[in-house]
Structures are given as structure tokens and as C-alpha cells.
Structure 1
Amino acid sequence: MIVIFLIAGALIFAISMIFIHPGVKKIIWVSIGLILSIGAVVVMTLNYNTFLGMKKVSQTQTYPLTSSVKGQHVLAYQQLGTKNECVYFYATNPMQQKLAKTNPSTGTAKVTHNSKMSQVKITRTYRVYRNDGLRILFSNGIPNHQFVSQNYEFRLMSGWKLKKISVQDKKS
């Protein structure tokens, strides 16, 4: 819809500059076309850069945590480079064959101890338009329900340990 305003403003500006004779009427129509065009470009830029008209909403889900290593109470992780970033390997079901893993590029992971129950709390954040009017206005720009981040909070009972694994451990 905002693109329609941009095109309409450009057409009003061009047509009034070419076909309307000089005078107050021409100045008014040229001004309307110019304001509409520049306003549309500014609003489109703000939507693209600062997510104008959008708000963040979060969805939180909590799952029971099952050990990454059978027979032990362990949460396995792998260090990435020299930074503090880690990939955590976890399971939420004892019958789960393949371990799920965190993605440090899309969010953060936090580990706390001495919880009553071992669990993982996953919080996903999305951007959504504040109302239907803004969604219609920017329908050709940023999509509604756009993924922003995913954060993990591992709550471990006492007795659980963190185990660092290397690439060789994963292959075997």
C-alpha cells in the first residue's frame, strides 16, 4: 500500500508539473505530490531500518530436560572458537534418538543450577505489526511474524554436570 502512495505522489507531482498552468493551483498540486512521495519514502525507510509499526512478542515453552549422555545426569556442550559461545546438546524426551542443539547465532543460552526439576525454557521472539492497518500499509515490506531470536535457559537439578565435548567425541 505504501508503494501505491509513492507511485501516486510521483504521478501527481509529474502531471501537475507538466500539465497545470502556473499559479496557486499548480503550487498546491506539486506540493501534495512532493509531500506524498517524500513521506512514502521516509516511512518505507523507517519501516525497513527501525521496524516502524511493529512490536516484539515472545512465546515461552518449558520442557523437561533429559540427559545428553545415557545413564548419567549430563548436559553436553561444545565450545565455539575462543569466545564464550557454546552449542548445548539436549533432549526433552528419553526416547529421543537425535539430540537437539542450541544455535548461538540466533540467541543466547544460560545455565542455572540447583533447580527443583531439570528443564529447558525456550523463549522465541518475533516481530508482528501493531494492528491490521499497519500490516496492510507495509504489506510489501517486512513480513508479519518475523523471527528475531531464540533464547534458552537450562535449569539443572543438583547432581547434574556440564560436559564439554570435542569434535572427536561427536564423531564416535
Structure 2
Amino acid sequence: MIIIFLFAGAILFACSMIFMHRGINKMIWVTLGLILSIGSVVLIALNYNIYLGMKEVNQTQTYPLTSSVKGKHAILYQQIGTKDERIYYYATNPLQQKLAKTDPTTGTTKIKRNSKLNQVKITRKTRVYKNEEMRLLFSNGVPNKQFVSQDYEFHLMSGWTLEKVSHQKQ
């Protein structure tokens, strides 16, 4: 809808500048077209830069955590880069064939020890429009339910370890 306002303002400005005779009516229509065009461009820029009309929504899910290694109480990790960036491999079901993994590029991962239960808490942050008017105004720019980040928090009981895996295992 904001694009329609931008085009309408540009057409109004251009047509009033070209086809109208000098006078107060011309100045009013030119000013109105200019305000509509510039205002639309400013709103589009604000929507792309500070997500005008959107709010962040957190969705948290907690899953029971089972060992990544059969016969041990361990969570596997793979070191990437030279910093504390790691990929953690975890299972939420003992019958799970393929291990799930964290993504260090989309969020943070925290390990909390001496918990009462083994569990992983996954918090997914998305941006949604504040109301229907904002969605209608900006729906052709930034999509609704835009992904922001996904944070992982592992709660491990005492006795559980972190084991490093080779680069080839995934």
C-alpha cells in the first residue's frame, strides 16, 4: 500500500506541475504530491531500517534432552573458527536417528550445569506487524513473521559432559 501512496504522490506532483496553470491551486496540489511522495519514501526507509510498525515476538519451547552418545551422558559439540563458536549436536528423543544441531550464526547457545532436569530450551524470535493497518501498509516490503534469531539454552544435570567430535562427523 505504501508503494501505491508513493506512486500516487509522484503522479500527483508531476501532473500538477505540468498541466495546471499558475495559482494557489497548483501550489496546493504540488505541495500535497511532494509531501505524499517524500513521506512515503521516509516511511519505507524507516520500515527497512528500524522495522517501523513491527514488534518482536518470542516463542519458547522446552524439550527433554537425551544423550547424544549411546551409553554415555554426553552432548556432542564441534568447534568452528577460533572463538567460542560451537555447533552442539543434541537429541530430544532416545529413538531419534539423526541428531539436531544448533546454528551459531543465528543466535546464542548457553550451557547451564547442575540442573534438576536435562532439557533444552529453544527461544525463537520473529518480527510481526503490530496491527492489521501496519501489515496492510507495509506488506509488500518486509514479510510478516520475519526470523530474527534462535537461542538455545541447555540445562544439564551433574555428571553430563561435553564431548568434541571430529570435523567429518555431522
Asked if TM exceeds 0.5, the reply is yes
Alignment of 1:3-22 (within 5 A): 3-22=3-22
Cα RMSD, aligned residues only: 0.9
Post-superposition, which runs of at least 4 consecutive aligned residues in structure 1 deviate over 4 A?
none
What amino acid maps onto 1:12 in structure 2? L
d(CA) in 2 for partners of 1:151 and 1:167? 23
Secondary structure of the equivalent of 2:152? strand
Q: Secondary structure at the match of 2:28?
A: helix
Which amino acid is 2:125 matched to? T
Q: 2:46 matched to which residue of 1?
A: 46
CA drift at 1:89: 0.3
What residue in structure 2 maps to residue 29 of structure 1? 29
Most deviating of 16-25 and 117-126: 16-25
2:59 aligns to what? 59
- Match of 2:137? 137
Report the Cα distance in structure 2 between the residues aligned to 1:50 and 1:6, rounded to whole angstroms. 20
Aligned partner letter, 1:115:
S
Shift of 1:39: 0.4
Measured in 2, the distance between the counterparts of 1:36 and 1:154 equals 51
SS in 1 for 2:156: strand
- Structure 1 residues not aligned, in runs of 5+: none
Correspondence 1:20-169 to 2 at 5 A: 20-168=20-168
TM-score, with length taken from structure 1: 0.97
Residue identity (%): 68
Deviations 1:111-130, CA, capped at 9 Å, x for gaps: 01000000000000000000
> Matches of 2:113 and 2:84 in 1, distance apart?
18
Alignment TM-score, normalising by the size of structure 2: 0.98
Q: How far off its partner does 1:148 sit?
A: 0.7
